[in-house]
Amino acid sequence: MGRRRKRVYALMIGLLVLALVAVVLLPGVWPPEQSKPPVVPTENNTQNSTIPQIDEPQTPPGQTNLSIRIATFNIQVFGESKRSKPEVMDVLAKTARNFDILAVQEFRDDTETTLPIYLERINMLPGPKYAATMSPRLGRTSSKENYAFIYNTDTIRLLAGSNFTFTDPPEGSTADLFQREPFIARFQAANDPSFDFTLITIHTEPDGTPQELSSLPLALDSARARYGNETDFIILGDMNADCSYLSASEAASLALRNSSFQWVVPDSADTTVKSTDCAYDRIILAGTAQAEYGGSWGIFRFDNEYGLNQSASEDVSDHYPVWVGLDSAR
């Protein structure tokens, strides 16, 4: 009996040793968990994905990836009084964001602080940041004005050092051609660096409109000489090019009316806020800019867009912005 008991004990010890060896060699949980397939992110299940979700660039309404909207806007007597009205500044800020570039005429502020304040209001709104370049104060009288180009930095680049004011009188002449000399700058589309173009903005003297428009090709020649290989030119601004300031016969005699130029805003348009019916504000394409124009243009009726009555609209300006769409892919 003693020997049998010893053999039983020995067998039990052996089985225990085998069990311990199995535990050491086969670690894990008992019973083993069922294996689970990895989580694969799908279009409708990305919450567990470790891959960052990247938003596609958003294109402004009504534009393709290669299109830009360029506008001109005479913001009547834009200075300390107008900028002190929050409801007016709200409309002006929202209006600017409808365009990639906005050429503004009639900053009238001897402290030259209205543009920075306007830009700050634009950039307080959601969306991309805007920047600006401004001309010197211009004019023969004490009532001087600045021009500015305000642009969306996501879609437009100002070519460094390109902005300048037309020299008046021009070299070799003693004739003072413009009340407010044209302001000129060269830009580039951010998403297509090969698409660069030059803007020339002007606010003509109403009583001297025919003479100033006759001289405007000189500003174009100056830009061509300065930029060398540039071929896309857009002339835009408050040209007072209608009604009592420019007759049909005077318009027909302008060099700007020959086949080298394309007037985007027709004579039949009304760009004024008040009861007048005049196409004062114009956009003229020259050079290869004409080939990039597909017929998209408009008058931005901020009164309709933002639900303003007549009085509130006139507080903003006596002009509407006008705009043109250009497509670098054309």
Please list the active-site residues. Answer: 145, 203
Beta bridge partners of residue 130, listed in sequence order = 152
Q: How far apart are CA 72 and CA 237, in angstroms?
A: 5
314: enclosing H helix or E strand = helix 310-316
Q: How many other C-beta atoms can be found within 10 angstroms of the C-beta atom of residue 61? A: 6
CA atoms within 13 A on the CB side of 89: 20
Q: How far apart are CA 7 and CA 14, in angstroms?
A: 10
Q: Which of 104, 98, 102 has its CA nearest to residue 127?
A: 98
In the structure encoding, which two tokens stand for residue 316, read together? Answer: 């903003």
Beta bridge partners of residue 281, listed in sequence order = 238
DSSP per position, 56-125: PPPPPTT--TTEEEEEEEEEEEESHHHHT-HHHHHHHHHHHTT-SEEEEEEE--TT--HHHHHHHHHHHS
The three-state secondary structure class of 282 is: strand
- Return the residue matching tokens 């437009």: 156
For residue 64, give the amino acid letter. T
